[in-house]
Amino acid sequence: MNIERRRGDHSERVEDCIAEEVPIALRYNGRSFAVMMTSPQDLEDFALGFSLTEGLIDSADQLLGIDIQQQTAGIMLSMRVPFSARAAQLDPHSQRLLPGRGSCGICGTRELEDAVRAPPPVADTIHFSSSALESALNELRQFQPMNAVTGAVHAAAWANADGYIVLAREDIGRHNALDKLIGAMTRAKIATREGMLLLSSRASYEMVTKAVRAGIGFVAAISAPTALAIDLARRTNVCLVGFTRPGSCNVYTYSERLRNSSRSTN
């Protein structure tokens, strides 16, 4: 896109890269569920991750098919699921009323109980060293090509116990980035007990909820967590780290899982 860039009294016409933001409609067995504002990449990962973290399916096997259709107003993700899946039994009177802004995990939820219901706790995860966390943090920028050119997208990354990033996904919405990552991890059959989740955003309640539903027990965010996210992490056996920076971080829950030693142990 051609823009006018101003620096003090100087201005010039330059080409700039702009992040895309597209309405993505999600349908299950022909029934509309929600519309999310999403970056139009890795949509199959998004469809699977969103379905899992929203509790609409219990496993990847329940997502029988995905049809991606480009339409005038946006993109339609039409998914097929078996009748046993929750997505096939949605009550049309209780589906979301509003489109989700940036795939907000609870946008449009009708009942307060649905908004704050905690998923079952995750199983115990391994311990990680602070050096492994810092290594993953230092690598993160290399896995944010869209953000490098637009400055407008979030990332969610998965690193192993040694701090090497294995997978990462980007999106205009932080929730979308996490859903895409979880979908990609599920397809790759990555064991969620054996690594750490790194978020370029804050760790809000719904971000921790999605992590817990995926079985992730270690979450490190660049920005702050919310009080509700900390409470949820405590109740669901998640080590939650915030303000992650080179050489420093705040550990809010289960601090024993982030060790100062250079080795990771069970």
Q: Which of 17, 104, 239, 249 is flagged as catalytic?
A: 104
Which residue reads 């030693």 in tokens? 261
The most distant pair of C-alpha atoms in the chain lies apart, rounded to whole Å, by 64
Residues 6+ apart with CB under 8 A from 256: 127
* Catalytic (active site) residue 249: no
- Extract the tokens encoding 48: 């699977």
Would the CA dihedral through 249, 252, 253, 255 be positive or negative?
A: positive
Beta bridge partners of 11: 6
Report the relative pairing of strands 22-28 and 75-80 from DSSP bridges: parallel
b (16+ CB within 10 A) / e for 181-218: bbbbbbeeebebeebbbbbbbbbbbbbbbbbbbbbbbb
Beta strands in 110-203 (DSSP E): 128-129, 154-160, 165-171, 195-199
Distance from C-alpha of 69 to C-alpha of 76, rounded to nearest angstrom: 5
Which of 229, 210, 212 lies closest to 51 in space, CA to CA? 210
Would the CA dihedral through 178, 180, 181, 187 be positive or negative?
A: positive
Cα 180-201-159 angle, rounded to 5 deg = 60
- Extract the tokens encoding 167: 């997978």
Distance from C-alpha of 150 to C-alpha of 12, rounded to nearest angstrom: 18
User: Catalytic residues, which ones?
Assistant: 104
